[in-house]
Structure 1
Amino acid sequence: MRFLFPSDYFNPKKADAAYSEQVACIQNAGFTTSVISLESLETGSSKIIPAPTPGLKVVYRGWMLSPGDYELLVSVVESTGASVLTSKADYLATHYLINWYPLITDFTPETKFYSVDDDLENQLNRLGWDGFFIKDYVKSLKTSVGSIINKPEQIKTVVAEMQKFRGTIEGGICVRRLEDFVTETERRYFVLSGKPFAALPDEEIPEIVFECAKRIESQFFSVDVIERRDGTKRIVEIGDGQVSDIIGWTAERFAQLWIDS
């Protein structure tokens, strides 16, 4: 197993500083690491340094990539004779909300999917919900007006701000029904090869995380669980494990899950 990190922009042989602690811990755990220039993917000049041994399995750990860029990354890895742990199809299976939502509808807020070109205000009026959480297939708006609205006419502003601050709407528009969550209870779990892991070795893992591990076939993904005001555990997000931050985790614990799996 080799872990592939984004390279530093000014030093293509060194990992980006944002991942330096993970690199050190992964290496201390006995795994090898390489870097790749993500900026060079579209030009076809990206190289993996050092190149993985043919037949080796490669795990990407880095920034979120568009479907096109992830496909290019896979091509670079496969050109060395190595293979990726997560195929493009598996990457999108957990990276895009529209793909994982149907598998766990009973564990997560009700969600509707629309095109940017739809009459969104009218669609929200038809739903008749008390509140709406707006995002695209991957991210929500964390700046400006934010992502939570109570009036359907506000969605035009949210979408415009998403396009302004993010540069693009990825996939389409997701409208999630608001639930009464207790913000400070949110926790991130990782699932690797069907086995769930928590940020602490002795931490109790909610049953819904085990259920996700059964229903979702991807090799490596994250599950974010939060508690509703009535005490019910709910899933607010699932993501590809390769591009999920280690929120609430130490780099040492993250490295350890690869040994324990």
Structure 2
Amino acid sequence: MMLLVPADVLRPRRPDEHFADEAEAARQAGIDVAVIDHDAFVRGQADGAAVDRVPKSADAVYRGWMLRSEQYAALVRALAGRGATVRTSPEHYRRAHELPGWYPAIEGHTPESVWTSGDDRRGFLHACAALGCGPAVLRDYSKSMKHYWHEASFIPDVADRDAAWRVAGRFRQLRGDDFAGGFVLRQFESFVGAEVRTWWVEGSCRLVTAHPDTPEHQPPTKLDLAAVEASMQALDLPFVTADLALRDDGRWRIVEIGDGQVSDRPRSTAAAELIAALNTEDRAQPTRSGGNLLDGDVGLHAWKRMLARREST
């Protein structure tokens, strides 16, 4: 395994400060670390120089700032020119990064969702009609604007088409050039408490942490993921995060899937814990942040399967 991180803008031979602790944890674990010019891919001007410090590798994992799907594909092509193969392919990244890619596999464990292709009003109103009536949360394929909740995220009733379109217009304005794919309308569900971020490698939950927005709220000591495990395995993705929230009826729901390479780590979780979870040579049981074993049988079946595969090779 090799860890790829963005380079510091002012000191391009060093990791970006935000990912420096993960780079150091990887080195301490005996994992090679290389830096890339993240901004070159964002500008669409990437060439060999953007990855010229990356050595040949058969199992590279990126940990860095978010990239659009086409930007990530450009990164993979540039790395291939250096003889480096990433664990997550462009197709895998798109399926994890964009809601239409991951929604079908977990449909029974997440709020009902409909989406458009593009940002025209006609398509948006068709989506509203498909959802029916009642409150909804608006986003695009890759991101919400939840910090602008009332003006660009929450729709009190999708049956009020004019009011819904005003929210959509403001959302589109705020997203600007970052708007991805189309509008997504998700049925509103009432949640209580802070979200929990779970980290999945090869279909197995390897780590449970607080959500980066609420790093001070640690995950519960007893979190049974058995209900969602089969759906997460059905995604068939190498490295993803799933954010869970407790609905007011006491049921845990998946509110977001993300590619693990660009999912932020809460500062309350040590970098070494995430690196250990990523290291597929280390088949340690999944842990919750802080190093305590998860209670119950969380990920147990997947853990046994991984052990069996390892013993058979």
> 5 Å matches for 1:140-179?
140-144=144-148, 145-151=151-157, 152=160, 153-168=162-177, 169-179=179-189
How big is the shift at 1:123?
4.3
Letter in 2 for 1:172: G
CA contact (8 A) 1:199 1:253 kept: no
Residue 126 of structure 1, CA deviation = 5.9
Q: After the TM superposition, which residues 152-231 of structure 1 pair with which residues of structure 2 at under 5 Å, given as runs?
A: 152=160, 153-168=162-177, 169-184=179-194, 186-199=195-208, 204-231=223-250
Q: 1:117 aligns with which of 116, 120, 139?
A: 120
Cα pair 1:129 1:177 within 8 Å, conserved = no
2:138 equivalent to 1:134? yes
- 1:13 lines up with 2:13 in the alignment: yes
Query: Residues 179 and 121 (structure 1 numbering): CA distance in 2 closer, same or farther, change over 3 Å?
Result: same
Question: What RMSD over aligned residues (CA atoms) do the two structures have, in Å?
Answer: 2.2
Cα displacement (A) at 1:165? 2.5
Name 2:73's counterpart in structure 1.
71
Deviation at 1:71, TM superposition (A): 1.2
Q: Give the Cα separation in 2 of the matches to 1:162 and 1:11.
A: 36
Amino acid in the other structure paired with 1:138: S
With structure 2 as the length reference, what TM-score do the two structures score? 0.76
- Name the CA distance, whole Å, in 1 between partners of 2:175 and 2:270: 28
Q: Secondary structure at the match of 2:253?
A: strand
CA contact (8 A) 1:13 1:49 kept: no
Unaligned runs of 5+ in 2: 210-218, 284-313
Instruction: Give the Å deviation of 1:163.
Output: 2.9
Cα distance per residue 1:82-116 (max 9 Å; x no partner): 21100000001111101111111111110011231
1:51 aligned partner, one-letter code: V
Matched, 1:47 2:50: yes
Q: Which residue is equivalent to 1:23?
A: 23
Distance 1:49 1:244 in 2: 25
2:274: which partner in 1? 254
Using the TM superposition, name which of 200-209 and 28-37 deviates more.
Answer: 200-209
Contact (CA 8 Å) 2:110, 2:254: kept in 1 or not?
Answer: yes
Q: Secondary structure of 1:112's match?
A: strand
Higher deviation after alignment, 170-179 or 241-250: 241-250
- Residue 204 of structure 1 deviates from its aligned partner by 3.9
Whether the 8 Å CA contact 2:37–2:50 is kept in 1: the answer is yes
- Indicate conservation of the 8 Å contact 1:141/1:158, yes or no: no
Higher RCO (C-alpha under 8 Å, 6+ residues apart): 1
Aligned equivalents of 2:197 and 2:169: distance in 1?
Answer: 30
Equivalent residue, structure 2, for 1:96: 98
Q: In the TM superposition, what is the alpha-carbon distance from 1:187 to its structure 2 partner?
A: 0.6
Q: CA deviation at 1:59?
A: 0.7
**Matched AA of 2:275:** A
Of residues 107-116 and 193-202 in structure 1, the stretch that sits farther from structure 2 once superposed is 193-202
Using the TM superposition, name which of 212-221 and 93-102 deviates more. 212-221
**TM-score relative to the length of structure 1:** 0.90
8 Å CA contact retained: 2:36, 2:53: no
3-state SS of 1:56 partner: strand
Q: Which has a greater percent of helix?
A: 2
